[in-house]
Structure formats: C-alpha cells, structure tokens
Amino acid sequence: MSESFRTLDRADVKGKRVLVRVDLNVPMDNGKVTDATRLERIAPTIIEIADKGGKVILLAHFGRPKGRDAKDSLKPVAQELALILKRPVAFAEDCVGEAAEKAVAAMKDGDILCLENTRFHKEEEKNDPAFVAALAKLGDIYVNDAFSAAHRAHASTEGLGHKLPAYAGRTMQAELVALSKALEAPRKPVIAVIGGAKVSTKLELLENLIAKVDALVIGGGMANTFLHAQGITIGKSLAEKEMAATAQRILEKAEAKGCAIVLPVDAIVAFHFEANTPSHAYGLDAIPDGGMILDIGPLSIERVKSAIDDAATLVWNGPLGAFELKPFDQGTVAAAKHAAERTKAGLLVSVAGGGDTVAALNAAGVAGDLTYLSTAGGAFLEWLEGKPLPGVEVLRVK
C-alpha cells in the first residue's frame, strides 16, 4: 500500500518550505502536556525533513475552539515539542496572514516553526478555498503526518493536498503500511475481535468486516444484543433489544459470506455495575433475571484464544467486557495477552485501535507487543468501516 502513496522518499525538501500537517492534539492539564506520545510519534518526520535542509512549518488543530481562544493555543505544545526534539521550535501567533508569513520568511533551512491552531479559523473545517490558498502561500510542499485527522476533509488535512505537491509523512506511512497488512493484503486467515458497548455505533464496521474477514469474535455489551436476538435471556444486561433484527441480519449475512461468528458461550454476571461487586460465571441458559453480563466467561475466553490460534492476522477494536471495572477486565486481558504472545512468537500480525481499545491494551500491559497499535480513534474506526479517508486519498499516486 505504501507504494501507492507518495512518501517522503520521493520528496526533494532541501531549501523548500515544507508545510507538515501533524497531530498536536495532546492531553493537557493546567497548560502542561500530560501525555507526549503523539509528539514522540511525529518527531522522526520533523527531524528527517529538517536534517535534509527543509524548512519545517507545522500545521495542526487543537481542541474544538469556536474562534480564537487562548486556552486552545498550540504555544505550550510547541514548547513541549521542542523538548522532545531537542531543537528550537519557533511559534507564530496565527496560521495565515502577516504573523505566519513573517515567521516563515525569517526561517533558515533546517528550522522548525509551529503555526497557531488552524481551528481558530472557522474556514479550516469548511475546507474553504481562500483559506486553503492562504495556507498554501506559506509552503512549497505539503506533507501529511496526521492519520488521526485524515477522516476529515478540512483545509489542512485535505484541501492543501490539491494545491501543493503532497506526501505522506513517516508516521502516516507506518499507519498505512500496518493497516494494509491487516485488511487489504493480509496473511489469511484473518480474524476480527470486536467489542464495546453497542451494536448501533459499530454497525457499518461489522458489515464491512464480515465481508473481509474469515472469523469475527463479538464480545462486550454488543454481544448481549446478539444473544438476545438468538432468544437467550440476558437479564438486565446492557443491550439494544430494538436492534435484534439487525443483529440477526448480520449473522445471516456473515454465514452467506463464509465468515464464522464467535459469540460468547458463557458470561460473568453481577448484580451491580461496579468494581469488585460479587460475580459468577453462568452458562447462557442460566443467566439470572436480575443479573448483568459484564464480561465473557472462562469457556468463552478459551474459545476466543483458540479462534486467535487459527488466525494469521488479527484486527481488534473494543473491549470484551466492562474492562474499567475489575475483575470484569479478565476476558479482554486474557485475549490481549494471548494475541501479544502469538505476535511475539511470529505467528500473528496484530493490529488494534480505537480509544477504549488502546486503554484496555495498556491496562493489559501488552500495548507494545502487538504488531501495530493505532491511536487514531475516529480515523481508525472509519477505516474499519471501509470508508475512504479524504486525507489519505489526496496522497494517492494517480
């Protein structure tokens, strides 16, 4: 897949003004960056362009400001980035107009400049042509290294790609290569593990996956809807009973496509939705009326593990139980550890992503042992849904 995109290998950046779209949307508390993972991820692209003699001009959004708002300034993020890069990062108080133009004009080859939050201008999210032109004036080349924002057709994520020669940065490239290995040209058989709260939010994702994978493990609250659709009594478990017909249709479609569906065969049930509340494993024919299924049971864990053993490639999104509440993280943790072991043994290519999934895999202590962990949230989910991502499409070799 990487070959079908223009990467930095094809870009001649020396002496050029390079507009680099990055993800600076880091968690902050009281003006301090609390998790610098995203900054560490973009460092290689910035260093490479600077070391090749390009002028690195960083473009990014932060938060969801309505107009200019000091609390969403990128200034403290630029300062933190300088510490990570161990190089000076200049800052311009605006991303277009005089402040930006002056700051760019003052740059020498190899310098790094961060422009203020693109979302201080409402035209950014509208992909407004005049705003795109104002940004394009600042650069000779456009590099997009923000896969996490690639599902949005905004001025800095998509519009610029039509105005300037456009390339994928190294982080974007790594993400595209990993995702391609997982679904576009995977080693077969491919298994998807999908959990989380609801069927309704993951409908498109399920429909896309059953057409592409050999087996689909369904866990978490969403499995309850499938169990209910099959006539199983699920007590007071979280479920979308009105989605029963949809769940049934998905099961039928999966069968027609030759995709095996792995649903829980037992469950951990409690009577309160809280940590450390008493709980027991039940067979599906014996879920108590007042009980709530909060995790998959021990037999289900064994089934999920053996389903993973049968696969050469794994795609994962969503926890298999209410993992934030101990001990209802056990199904998720056991499956995650198993996937990590198979990956480390060279038997499995494993790609996981989505906000809760990253948290769950971190909690299981195996986040670093999978082949690739995408922190991209919305963009990762849209990719799982099979949707073209505008910020990626614009980098495609035509």
Q: Which whole-number Å values give the CA distances from 196 to 191, 217, 268, 365, in the listed order?
A: 17, 12, 16, 19
| Annotated active-site residue in 355, 386, 387, 396 | 355
Question: DSSP readout, 95-139?
Answer: SSHHHHHHHHHT--TT-EEEE--GGGSTHHHHT-HHHHHHHHTT-
| Annotated active-site residue in 97, 110, 235, 378 | 378
At its nearest, how many Å lie between ligand AMP and the CB of residue 322? Answer: 4
53 catalytic per annotation: no
198 catalytic per annotation: yes
Our CB check for ligand AMP shows the closer of 159 and 321 to be 321
Our CB check for ligand AMP shows the closer of 59 and 373 to be 373
User: Do residues 142 and 163 make contact, with C-beta atoms less than 8 angstroms apart?
Assistant: yes
Dihedral (CA of 46, 47, 49, 55) sign: positive
At its nearest, how many Å lie between ligand AMP and the CB of residue 206? Answer: 12
At its nearest, how many Å lie between ligand AMP and the CB of residue 216? Answer: 15
The C-alpha angle 232, 235, 240, rounded to 5 degrees, equals 75
| Annotated active-site residue in 198, 236, 337, 387 | 198
378 catalytic per annotation: yes
Q: Which residues bind ligand AMP (CB under 6 A)?
A: 195-198, 201, 220-221, 238, 293-294, 318-319, 321-324, 356
| Annotated active-site residue in 6, 16, 38, 41 | 38
Our CB check for ligand AMP shows the closer of 56 and 193 to be 193
The amino acid sitting at 266 is D
Helix H or strand E encompassing 348? none
Our CB check for ligand AMP shows the closer of 4 and 230 to be 230
Residue positions annotated with a catalytic role: 38, 198, 355, 378
